[in-house]
Amino acid sequence: MKPNRKQLKRRLILMLAIGLFVSVLLIARLAYVQFYLGGWLTDLAEDSWARDVPFEAERGEIRDRHGETLATNISAPSLLVVPSQVEDPAHAAVEISSILQKAEDEVYEKITEQQSIVRINPEGRKMTPELADALRSLDLEGLYIAEDNRRYYPNGAFLSHVLGFAGIDNQGLTGLEQYYDEELSGSPGSVSFYSDAKGQRMPGMAERYVEPEDGQHVNLSVDEQVQKIIERELDIAEATYSPDGAIGIAMDPNTGGILGMSSRPDFDPEHFQDVPPEIYNQNKPVWSQYEPGSTFKIMTLAAALEEEVVDLDEDRFHDPGHIEVAGQRLRCWKKGGHGDQTFMEVVQNSCNPGFVTLGERLGEDLLFDYIHEFGFGEQTGIDLQGEGTGILFDPENVGPLEQATTAFGQGVSVTPLQQVTAVAAAVNGGYLYEPFLAMEWVDPETEDIIERKEPVMKKQVISEDTSQEVRRALEHVVAKGTGKGAFVDGYRVGGKTGTAQKSSGGRYLKDNHIVSFIGVAPMDDPEIVVYIAIDNPKDTMQFGGVVAAPIVGNVIGDSLRAMEVEPREDQLEKELDWTDTEPVEIPDVVGLPLTELHHASYPLEIQTEGTGEYVVSQSPAPGSRVEQGSTIRLYLGDKSQADD
């Protein structure tokens, strides 16, 4: 018995030791959970109790280069209902349905759902502030009015393809809204209340507010004035020619910044559903690709000048109206040809055989090298989705015939933006830039500029001297050649026409052309490149020089005036043909007696205002050049006033 008793004691003490050890273990673990894991567990627990009422961030504005608003937000609150907090759903359903104009039983069904938070779509989503106020004044438990906003485009269809639009959740769906969605959208905040597991407010706990972070504003390189001019001109063109479509681009050749970009048909971003998806999804200036036609000759010209295979003034070319290439006869657009001419005249006349010859002088490799160097065959890198690359001949399949047609812009396919970017490089001193839209990012709180886009110069394609010669040639085209329609007095416009036959299923369509013109001004120091293309204009000669050139002229003239670019003194004077009249220089008549004017015979209409014998002031100012038959206004007074 004795040893047994001893063993019992030993084992009892062992049991006590184990028990105490377990107690220490439990207390240690309790401390670990409550102190070490406490903070982490508290965060998790609070998240599990919190029911978030979202507090939307305000989407960043899109503005033009001068800060004019192009896309903004207007307050549009949303209704949220916490079903478990609604005390009398039947009564609430009646009230809500009468305010939102929604069937009562649908509202009732919604606000009695087994959900922590429900929305009443679409009536209770992004409401007018008046509806929100009405709901707020009901003062019903379980109803929350969440601050929210709706995208608003103050100028309607203006710049719509570039801006794109945002959806119901303010998420960017197309255009810049999509491309820069992350930067523009910011991050949402919330107001949270703590709820028990059955959805009731937990007693004695305050609400938690997480502030939303608003999206950044973006200033585009787009100039609202230039864009308005383009939109206006495209509207007029649509009305005049009923075309299948139209495209307009304006670029700052010194940075690659887009000054304006538009196309037809267009759409209103707030009612994009009214048009077929292909209209709002296809931003034609960057998406569409087609045969450029003669505008492409600028590339051939620039390459030939850079490689010094031609002297525009000294070298001569005889155009019999066609040229033989690899047994094929390629015709000039002009029946009978242009006859004997300098190569400057070849450019002015847009003479196809002349350009084929330039292409032959360059050779296949050099010609295509330059085309690639100018950025064709790849995306330009503009900050928009859905850019096309264009289609060039596969190098392995290029024979003399392909080389010849490429030299005057047939058989290749390019995007409008590629052409504008390449021409900008040809005239700006030879520098190929990456085109862009977003210029500056602006802090929504402070309005400070956070980030400024530096122009990206990809490479120098041709020399400054060559570029200058290209500018001289293009100014000749407008002053003396096929581009006269684009002439703007005082702004030294240069440019090149383009007329491309549209093809379908590998065949050219009859009497169906995309007529285009690409213009640059002022030629001594280019500030703008403008491209206009009209797709299948009706009831007109389908020539770029006839249809597109005058539109480019209007856009350039008005834009440069809006951009406050000084008119130039010396310019290449326009060569007149029988439809043109010589411009009249306005004489200085201030101070002259009215009687003297009666004897003069200016080719102008004279209109007088005021009474008196002497001219006090005049409009337009002396030295201005106007068309014959324009009106000059004279303000009359007595001699003393005139002498002042």
Partner 1 sequence: MESNQMFKQVDRWLLLVTVLLVAIGVVMVYSASAAWAEYNFGDSTYFLKRQLLFATLGLVALTVMMNIPYQTWRPYLPLIMLICFILLIIVLIPGVGLQRGGARSWLGIGAFSVQPSEFMKLAMIGMVAHLLAVRREHMSYFGQGVFPLLLLIGTAFGLIMLQPDLGTGAVMVITAMAMIFIGGARILHFVWLGLLGVVAFALLVISAPYRLQRLTSFLDPWSDALGSGFQSIQSLYAIGPGGLVGLGFGDSRQKYYYLPEPQTDFIFAILAEEGGFITGAIVILLFSIFMWRGIRIALLIDDPFASFLAVGIVGLLLVQVMINIGVVIGMFPVTGITLPFLSYGGSSLTLMLLAVGLLLNISSQLRSV
Which lies closer to partner 1 via its Cβ, residue 42 or residue 628?
42
Question: Is 6 near partner 1 (CB under 8 A)?
Answer: no
Among 2, 40, 101, 394, binds partner 1 (CB under 8 A): 40
> Smallest Cα–Cα separation from 319: which of 361, 359, 351?
351
Question: Is 600 near partner 1 (CB under 8 A)?
Answer: no
Which lies closer to partner 1 via its Cβ, residue 196 or residue 324?
196
| Residue 118 CB, nearest approach to partner 1 (Å) | 20
Question: Is 207 near partner 1 (CB under 8 A)?
Answer: no
Cis status of the peptide bond prior to 269, with omega within 30 of 0? no
Which lies closer to partner 1 via its Cβ, residue 13 or residue 326?
13
Distance CA 521, CA 474 (A): 10
| Residue 122 CB, nearest approach to partner 1 (Å) | 32
Question: Is 197 near partner 1 (CB under 8 A)?
Answer: yes
Question: Is 138 near partner 1 (CB under 8 A)?
Answer: no
Binding to partner 1, residues 288-327 (CB under 8 A): none
Neighbours of 88 (CB within 10 A): 12
Question: Is 90 near partner 1 (CB under 8 A)?
Answer: no
Which lies closer to partner 1 via its Cβ, residue 12 or residue 456?
12
> Smallest Cα–Cα separation from 265: which of 250, 251, 282?
282
Q: Which residues contact 165 (CB under 8 A, 6 or more apart)?
A: 151, 153, 172, 173, 174, 175, 177, 269, 270, 272, 280
Question: Is 8 near partner 1 (CB under 8 A)?
Answer: yes
Task: Single out the segment in contact with partner 1 by CB under 8 A; choices: 4-12, 129-137, 370-378, 532-540.
Answer: 4-12
Question: Is-contact 179 386, C-beta < 8 A?
Answer: no
Question: Is 26 near partner 1 (CB under 8 A)?
Answer: yes
| Residue 43 CB, nearest approach to partner 1 (Å) | 9
Question: Is 20 near partner 1 (CB under 8 A)?
Answer: yes
| Residue 190 CB, nearest approach to partner 1 (Å) | 19
Among 202, 456, 509, 600, binds partner 1 (CB under 8 A): 202
Task: Single out the segment in contact with partner 1 by CB under 8 A; choices: 79-87, 197-205, 267-275, 350-358.
Answer: 197-205
294 among known catalytic residues: yes
Which lies closer to partner 1 via its Cβ, residue 35 or residue 578?
35
Distance CA 185, CA 442 (A): 13
Tell me the backbone φ, ψ of residue 89, rounded to 5 degrees. -60, -35
> Smallest Cα–Cα separation from 293: which of 371, 409, 391?
409
Task: Single out the segment in contact with partner 1 by CB under 8 A; choices: 171-179, 195-203, 371-379, 508-516.
Answer: 195-203
| Residue 49 CB, nearest approach to partner 1 (Å) | 6
Distance CA 45, CA 590 (A): 87
Question: Is 23 near partner 1 (CB under 8 A)?
Answer: yes
Question: Is 115 near partner 1 (CB under 8 A)?
Answer: no
Query: Could you tell me where the beta strands, DSSP code E, fall in 127-240?
Result: 143-146, 149-152, 189-194, 208-210, 217-220
Among 138, 205, 326, 456, binds partner 1 (CB under 8 A): 205
Task: Single out the segment in contact with partner 1 by CB under 8 A; choices: 40-48, 98-106, 522-530, 554-562.
Answer: 40-48
Among 196, 311, 588, 605, binds partner 1 (CB under 8 A): 196
Among 38, 122, 399, 610, binds partner 1 (CB under 8 A): 38
Distance CA 222, CA 639 (A): 50
Tell me the backbone φ, ψ of residue 534, rounded to 5 degrees. -115, 125
Among 22, 509, 576, 621, binds partner 1 (CB under 8 A): 22
Burial status of residue 141 (CB atoms within 10 A of its CB: 0-12, 13-18, 19 or more): exposed
Task: Single out the segment in contact with partner 1 by CB under 8 A; choices: 23-31, 157-165, 386-394, 418-426.
Answer: 23-31
Distance CA 260, CA 246 (A): 14
3-state secondary structure 541-592: CCCHHHHHHHHHHHHHHHHHHHCCCCCCCCCCCCCCCCCCCCCEECCCCCCC
| Residue 210 CB, nearest approach to partner 1 (Å) | 19
Task: Single out the segment in contact with partner 1 by CB under 8 A; choices: 125-133, 189-197, 230-238, 613-621.
Answer: 189-197
Catalytic residue selected from 78, 262, 294, 413: 294
The distance from CA 282 to its chain's CA centroid, rounded to whole angstroms, is: 12
Which lies closer to partner 1 via its Cβ, residue 11 or residue 66?
11
> Smallest Cα–Cα separation from 254: which of 473, 424, 439, 466?
424
3-state secondary structure 340-396: EEEHHHHHHHCCHHHHHHHHHHHCHHHHHHHHHHCCCCCCCCCCCCCCCCCECCCHH
Question: Is-contact 487 553, C-beta < 8 A?
Answer: yes
Q: How many residues does the chain have?
A: 644
Among 2, 35, 396, 510, binds partner 1 (CB under 8 A): 35
Q: Are strands 217-220 and 62-63 parallel, antiparallel or unpaired?
A: parallel
| Residue 257 CB, nearest approach to partner 1 (Å) | 52
Among 30, 138, 326, 509, binds partner 1 (CB under 8 A): 30
Number of residues binding to partner 1, judged by CB under 8 A? 39
Catalytic sites, residue numbers: 294
Q: Which residues bind partner 1 (CB under 8 A)?
A: 4, 7-9, 11-13, 15-16, 19-20, 22-23, 25-27, 29-31, 33-35, 37-38, 40-42, 44-45, 48-49, 194, 196-198, 200, 202, 204-205
